[in-house]
Amino acid sequence: MEISPFLERKLARRFRTFDFDDDGDIDRADFERSAAAVADEFDHPPDSAARLRLLELSLALWDHLARSADADADGAITVEEYKHAFAGGLLVTEDSFDQGYRPFLDALMDVCDTDGDGRLDAEEHVRWTGALMNLPEDDAREIHRRLDEDGDGFVTTEDLLTAIHDFYFDEDPEGTGSWLLGPLDDD
């Protein structure tokens, strides 16, 4: 797969959201800490089934990334390794997309959906995106507004799946998916 300049900007942005400790690469600890941060944000104790499931799926995501992208097998992935693996179809394809993301989003919903209605309000959205990906509150609120296409004040797993799909596979800079992680850098 050829990576357009626009997709390259999106991949660089996604990589930064994986880099929980902001040290310039991603490793297993980034995935452990980010899952713990979300569970802590929503007051799930260490033995919470929802917390443990989110951690399990976060570490499975790390394992998949490490197998696919850690070209030099040093236990860390650089942004260039990440982009190269994506271009090679090793990380996600349109065919594998739903299978890869739905379980994680379901687990995330189990942690973050405080009233169990299957939807995230703006406050829940701000809290999980801040805890998991260090997104600023203003960006998270704008993202929630854009994801809430029916204007009911809520975002569902389906809304998130559509936006994530479009983040990776839609070249429309004005599309909802393009704003999934906030504004993109201009580089």
Domain CATH number, residue 46? 1.10.238.10
What is the residue range of 78's domain? 5-173
Residue 186: what pLDDT? 66
Residue 181 covered by a domain: no
Q: How much helix, strand and coil, in percent to the nearest 5, is found in the chain?
A: 60, 5, 35
Measured distance CA(60)–CA(138) in Å, rounded: 30
Domain assignment present for residue 65? The answer is: yes
* 33 has pLDDT over 90: yes
> Which pLDDT does position 88 carry in this prediction?
81
| CA atoms of 177 and 167, how far apart (whole Å) | 4
pLDDT of 140 over the 70 cut: yes
In a domain, 187, yes or no: no
pLDDT higher than 80, residue 101:
yes
Residue 54: inside a domain, yes or no?
Answer: yes
Judge whether 183 lies within some domain.
no
Distance between CA atoms of 34 and 144, rounded to whole angstroms?
20
Indicate the number of domains in the chain: 1
**Closest-CA residue to 112 (of 101, 123, 98):** 123
Considering the domain boundaries, does residue 102 fall inside one? yes
Residue 98: inside a domain:
yes
Q: What is the mean pLDDT of residues 75-79?
A: 97
pTM, full prediction: 0.92
Measured CA to CA, the distance from residue 78 to residue 99 in angstroms comes to: 25
Instruction: Using the predicted structure, report yes or no on whether residue 61 has a pLDDT greater than 80.
Output: yes
- In a domain, residue 134? The reply is yes
Is the model's pLDDT at 69 over the cut of 80?
A: yes
C-alpha triplet 71, 83, 179: angle, nearest 5°: 145
Calculate helix-pair angle for 5-18, 79-87, nearest 10 degrees: 130
Read off the pLDDT of each residue in 43-53 and give the average, rounded to a whole number: 98
Separation between Cα atoms, residue 149 and residue 156, nearest integer Å? 11
